[in-house]
Chain A
């Protein structure tokens, strides 16, 4: 028997309440974890004083509000954004193998960031230069892939995948070249961290910019989830059910590129979240995007929050790139999900 949708009967509202509660509790615990351990009630108190602008009552308030809270929130934003981008990408090409990497978007963002690191240098440029460069190159890459995959009025899903993989490889090549060319060891280390993803650069400013953008894009996707359902059925069925598939596909692709740009700009390229979390969400709640999108976003947020907390504690004070940890969790989960589906 196919096991997809084992929680198909559970109301979405119940799943969301449980998921959001779990995420909130984990976020409080994660904020307390680190070189200085802070008890959950002190975390909550610190968050309260920070968010209401009251004076700090000690050094732990500084750690909670200025150092860890933005990082924890950014992990949630990044995880949700990656999972949403992946779910949208998979519907756009009607194939569970798609994610921001496969479509070339992550490599595009990576190139933009690495170009800034190895040429101008992060120190010289303003702190938002690098995120902005990553965001812009992700969008540009999306545009290039769309234009190259298009033929006449048609936008063939498998062509998007092929063009996306090719463009992604090309951009990765350029990125490697830039990396080798730079004689600056510090820049090389920054690049490596960036390509494997890290939230060590999280700050309130990034959270305040990225969270509304991810929420906005997620909201748009959720409102149009019915169209994602049709799109996942392929062009003929989508057209037969009253949609113009090429147009919708281009629109959703742009949305995925936007999400990828925002997220990668904040965290570097984190693998597997966009691929695995939508697949896991479908195993849990079935194929309907009205349920898949919010559940995948929650799962992505949970995974990145856990992975980032592990990344900054396992070898503390050394930080691990987060991509290593998402791969460790993501790959087994994905293989398991694929095997369960294949046995159906």
Chain B
């Protein structure tokens, strides 16, 4: 198990910084939810972790190793990634797509070995996608695609799982399914999430970004208070205890809507 430490990270696209001096830690093995309004810098922060973006300054260390200075291929063996609705290329099959997750482990021209294929099979079994292997990605439903892409991220054999709003555009059942599979992988995980309730339900730690700055980090109970949610998201929430005794967050209608 490896912990992720981000220290005073400042990053953006072009010359405009989107996140400013963000310092945070994702404890080893924890499932950490990154929440914040649109434009608060969640995707920008996550992109710096997998090499999608080079930050202006600051550091990100995974188990003590400098993620930002790491060669791309080496980093891809440490960090597995799932984003929302990524392009699918020229229609690979699900099996081919997951096999692409082995790329960082292959030599310059090397073809995948039987061990690589075995690993791919186990990742597909873990995400319940074995039966989808021969099907082109374009024929899969949104939920099936995200499970296949999660299998691809797991096939990277990473220490850290980076998920950028992995359940957007999915129906409620698939939202739960993808989130539970991700959390169940047992890896150090940081995931951007829109649903505060799902963050409260699944996360060990919740990190709130607001205007590109870290607002607060801590356990869901400490962080997701009605006051903070009103300040950051400009909505009212009501904590409730569900029938299984878990603290949930109910989004309330705005005052005018009664």
Interface residues of A (CB under 8 A from B): 1-2, 4-5, 8, 90-91, 94, 96, 151-153, 223-224, 226, 229-230, 232-237, 239-244, 282, 286-288, 292, 341, 344
12 sample A-B contacts, Cβ–Cβ < 8 Å, listed by A number: A1-B139, A5-B136, A94-B89, A236-B86, A240-B162, A241-B100, A242-B72, A242-B76, A243-B72, A243-B76, A292-B90, A344-B136
The reply on B211 being an interface residue by CB < 8 A is no
Instruction: Specify the main secondary structure of chain A where it touches its partner.
Output: loop
Nearest chain B residue, comparing its CB with the CB of A237: B86
In the complex where A229-B100, A282-B91, A287-B92 touch, is A236 in contact with B139 (Cβ < 8 A)?
A: no
CA of A5 to CA of B93, assembled, Å: 9
Assess whether A242 is in contact with B75, with CB atoms less than 8 Å apart.
yes
In the complex where A5-B136, A344-B139 touch, is A287 in contact with B90 (Cβ < 8 A)?
A: yes
Tell me how far the C-beta of B49 lies from the nearest C-beta in chain A, rounded to whole angstroms. Answer: 10
The reply on B79 being an interface residue by CB < 8 A is yes
Assess whether B104 is in contact with A229, with CB atoms less than 8 Å apart.
no
Q: B59-87: contact bitstring with A at CB < 8 Å (1 yes, 0 no)? A: 00000000000001111110111010011
Counting contact residues on chain B (CB < 8 A from A), the size range is 35 or more
Tell me how far the C-beta of A302 lies from the nearest C-beta in chain B, rounded to whole angstroms. Answer: 21
CA of A244 to CA of B80, assembled, Å: 16
Report the stretch among B26-34, B50-58, B121-129 that lies at the interface: B50-58
CA of A57 to CA of B136, assembled, Å: 56
In the complex where A2-B138, A243-B72, A287-B96 touch, is A232 in contact with B90 (Cβ < 8 A)?
A: yes
Tell me how far the C-beta of A262 lies from the nearest C-beta in chain B, rounded to whole angstroms. Answer: 24
* Known contacts A96-B90, A240-B83, A241-B100, then 20 further A-B pairs from the complex at CB < 8 Å, ordered by chain A residue: A2-B139, A5-B93, A5-B136, A233-B86, A233-B88, A233-B100, A236-B47, A236-B50, A236-B52, A240-B50, A240-B51, A240-B76, A240-B81, A241-B104, A242-B74, A242-B75, A286-B96, A287-B90, A288-B96, A341-B91
Contacts of B258 in A (CB 8 A): none
CA of A240 to CA of B73, assembled, Å: 9
Contacts of B153 in A (CB 8 A): 240
In the complex where A232-B90, A233-B87 touch, is A244 in contact with B52 (Cβ < 8 A)?
A: no
Nearest chain A residue, comparing its CB with the CB of B43: A236
Contacts of A4 in B (CB 8 A): 91, 136, 138
Contacts of B101 in A (CB 8 A): 241
A232 touches which of B47, B81, B89, B162 (Cβ 8 Å): B89
